[in-house]
Structure 1
Amino acid sequence: MTTIRPARPGDADAVLRLFDDAIAWFVTIGNTGQWGTQPFSSRPEQVTRVQGWVAEPGTWIAEHPEAGVVGFLALGEATEYVPAATDPELYVRVLIGSRDPRAKGTGRRLLDFAHDEALAAGVGKLRVDCYAGGTGDLVRFYESCGYTPTDPFLVGEWPGQVLERAVVLPA
C-alpha cells in the first residue's frame, strides 16, 4: 500500500527521477511540448527547483513499499503566471506520478490528499494548472478527478489551463 509522507531534502533525487522518467516517456509518445526532451536531472535550473520544492512545507511524497518514491505533490500559493484567486484556496503547485505499474492511481490519491488538506485548512477551493497542449489528456485527467477548467493562459508559447475543484466545508 502506498503511503503519503512529508517530503524532505533527501527526496530530491527520487523526485528528479520521476520527472526524468516522465520526460523519457513523453518523448516516446511525441509529447515534447510539456517539459521538452532533456531530463530534469541534466538541467541545473530544474535540479535547483526540485531541491527547493522538497525542502518547502506543504510538499508530500507518495511511497510504495517495493517501488519506492512513486509520486510528489507540492501545495501552497498559486503560481505567478495564473490569475489570482478570488476566494481562499489551496493550490496544487506540482503533481507528478511514476510510470511504474505499481504506482497506478497515485496521482488521484495525491489529489484526494490535497482535497483533505484543503478541508483541514478550511478553504473552499483547490486549483491547479497544467499543460494544455498535445492531446489534451492532462486536462481531461484533472476533469476526471473533479476539476473544472477555468482560465486558459500562455507562458511564452507554452499553453496552460487552470482548473478548480470546490471543497465542501462542514457547516
Structure 2
Amino acid sequence: MTSPLTIRHGGLDDVPAVLALLDRATEWLVARGRTDQWGTEPHSTNPRRVEQIREFATGGGLWVGETGGRLVGALAVGDAMSYIPPATEPELYVRLLVTDRASKGSGIGTDLLDHARALARGLGVGLLRVDCFGGGDGELIRYYEKQGFTRGEPFGVPISDSVWPGQVLFQRL
C-alpha cells in the first residue's frame, strides 16, 4: 500500500464503488475456479445485492477504506443476517467485508476488522461475529481464524436446487 488506509462512514455515493469491489472479487474467484462461493454474475447486476448494499449505506453500518483517494475496501456491521442463528448475548455482526484484490496482502481486511472491533468495544459489546463461505478448500474460514476468530456453527442457505454452505465465526473482545 502506498499510503495509509483511511476508514470513513460509507454513504449512497459509495455504493457503486463497493459493488465494483464485489464484482472484481467475483472475477478473481471465477478466474480461480471458485464459482461456488458467489457464482459468476456481477453483483452490480443483481437487484437484490444492489439493494442490500444501499441498505448498508443508508442504515449507517457501511464503512469504507480508502488509500490515495481510491476506495479499496468495505465493511458493513450491524445485526446478524436473517439466515444466521441469533446470538445469546449482545453482539456486533460483520455483514460484509470485501477488499480490492489488487491490494491483496496489504492489510486492508485486517484494518477493517480492527475497525469493527473498535466499534464493538465502543458499543460495550463483547462479541463480534461474521459468516463466510464454508465450502471449497476452507481458505476463507482460515483467513478469519488468522484474524482471531473461532469457528462457531456451520449453516446452509437454500439456493435454487442446492444449499450454499456457510460458517459462522466469533471473536470475544
Of the structure 1 ranges 70-79 and 99-108, higher mean CA displacement relative to structure 2 is found in: 99-108
Q: Residue type matched to 1:15 in 2?
A: V
Quick one: structure 1 residues 102 and 49, their matched pair in 2 at CA, closer, same or farther if it must change by over 3 Å? same
1:6 is aligned, of 5, 9, 16, to: 9
Report the Cα distance in structure 1 between the residues aligned to 2:65 and 2:27, rounded to whole angstroms.
Answer: 21
1:92 is aligned, of 82, 91, 94, to: 94
Is residue 56–residue 62 contact of structure 2 (8 Å, CA) maintained in 1? yes
Is residue 74–residue 96 contact of structure 2 (8 Å, CA) maintained in 1? yes
Q: Which residues in structure 2 correspond to 1:90-129 (within 5 Å)? A: 90-101=92-103, 104-129=106-131
Residue ranges of structure 1 left out of the alignment (5+ in a row)? none
Quick one: structure 1 residues 130 and 102, their matched pair in 2 at CA, closer, same or farther if it must change by over 3 Å? closer
Report the Cα distance in structure 1 between the residues aligned to 2:31 and 2:67, rounded to whole angstroms.
Answer: 25
Check if 1:60 corresponds to 2:67.
no
Is residue 72–residue 94 contact of structure 1 (8 Å, CA) maintained in 2? yes
Residue ranges of structure 2 left out of the alignment (5+ in a row)? none
% identity of equivalent residues: 46
Report the Cα distance in structure 1 between the residues aligned to 2:148 and 2:45, rounded to whole angstroms.
Answer: 35
Is residue 72–residue 103 contact of structure 2 (8 Å, CA) maintained in 1? no
Aligned length: 166
2:27 is aligned, of 21, 24, 27, to: 24
Q: Provide the TM-score with structure 1 as the length reference.
A: 0.93
Is residue 70–residue 103 contact of structure 1 (8 Å, CA) maintained in 2? no
Moved over 4 A (4+): none
Give the CA deviation at 1:44: 2.2
Match in the other structure for 2:169: 163
The superposition leaves residues 90-135 of structure 1 with CA deviations (integer Å, 9 ceiling, x where unpaired) of: 1111111111237721111111111111111101110000001111
Report the Cα distance in structure 2 between the residues aligned to 1:153 and 1:45, rounded to whole angstroms.
Answer: 21
Of the structure 1 ranges 44-53 and 144-153, higher mean CA displacement relative to structure 2 is found in: 44-53
Q: Provide the TM-score with structure 2 as the length reference.
A: 0.92
Supply the RMSD in Å over aligned alpha carbons: 1.3
Secondary structure at 2:52's aligned position in 1? helix
